Amino acid sequence: MKLEQKDNALLFSSTNIPDVFFTEYFSQATGDAIKVYLYLLFLSKYDKEIKLNDLSKKLALPLPVIQDSIKYWEDLNVIIKKNTGYIINNLQEIELYNLYSPKVALSTDQIENNKKSMSRAKAIEDINNSFFQGIMSPAWYADINLWFNNYSFDEQVMIALFRYCFEKSALHKNYVRAVAEAWYQNNIKTFNDLDLYYEKQDKLNKLKKSVTKKLGLTRALTQYEEAYIEKWYLDYGYSLDVIDLALKKTTSKTNPSFDYIDKIISDWNDRNLKSPNDIQNFLLELKNKNKKVKELEKKANYQNYDQRAFTDFDSLYANKQEA
């Protein structure tokens, strides 16, 4: 039989064995099967032809053992039988295919999982071709598959994640992982979720610029000041129309702080005032109450003054007597 090696490379006088052989195949194979595989791998470099009987003698193994060993590797697709002999497959390619290609399944759940696997494999292929020029490091494959499972992203979101990082010139794992975590924290799973997230972020950025302008700030907002605005917009759900009402209340302040503005807006939120109309009605009602309180206080002070002037007869009489 003639032995060939798929994707044979110039190996000089050494025989390379990929680590995946030891992690995925070594512990399950018998010693005789390993012996046969390693010798066939060695011979395949040189395109040598060898008969099974000669192989039996060379390895000092009975012919049935040689045949069983070859059958074992055939079942694992490590060796492919041809009319002229055998092809020794690339173990790394086999494992990548096993990871990202669906298996034939019978149950509905398995069929759905296979569809998902096929879709994910296509997404990974698109990522490889679009952002790595088709030479993505094998280490990325396991990470991408892990992120699919951990973050429940659909395929479009995963591709968008790499596009975002690529456009930021930050296509390294720590940055990609950080962005993925941020998207996950914002409940992004589908492309529609991502679209809504981008829309919300765009509105938030415009709101920050508007607040900065209305307060007359010539500097960039600090991280803590941005956090206040994010709370008003994201947590309280207030738009610029509402926030602007709070900003107007700072006109009498020399250097209004964000903490002062936050207390006003948080009070409105605690009172469940959601719209500008709700807040304006509340402010008008509060103004009227304050006006009435001042009128009552003024009236009370006036009555007390009259009462003191009218009841102070002893003093008044004494003065007249002395005169």
Q: In this predicted structure, what is the pLDDT of residue 165?
A: 94
What local confidence, expressed as pLDDT, does residue 297 receive? 73
Q: Which residues, at least 6 apart from 276, have a Cβ–Cβ distance to it below 8 Å? A: 241, 242, 245
Find the mean pLDDT for residues 7-26. 70
Last residue of a domain, one of 189, 213, 241: 189
Q: Which of 87-101, 192-206, 254-268 has the lowest mean pLDDT?
A: 87-101
Are 84 and 107 contained in the same domain? no
Report, as an integer, the average pLDDT of 20-34: 85
Report the C-alpha gap between 292 and 294 in whole angstroms.
5
If you average pLDDT over each of 129-138, 184-193, 279-288, which comes out highest? 184-193
Looking at the structure of the chain, the number of domains it has is: 4
CATH, residue 246: 1.10.10
- Flag whether pLDDT at 166 surpasses 70: yes
Beta bridge partners of 85: 2
Return the residue matching tokens 């055939």.
74
Tell me: do 202 and 132 sit in the same domain. Answer: no
**Last residue of a domain, which of 133, 154, 189?**
189
pLDDT band at 105 (very low <50, low <70, confident <90, very high): very low
**Domain of residue 307, residue span:** 286-322
Burial 5-30 (b: 16+ CB within 10 A, else e): beeeeeeeeeeeeeebbeeebeeebe
Domain boundary among 142, 161, 189: 189
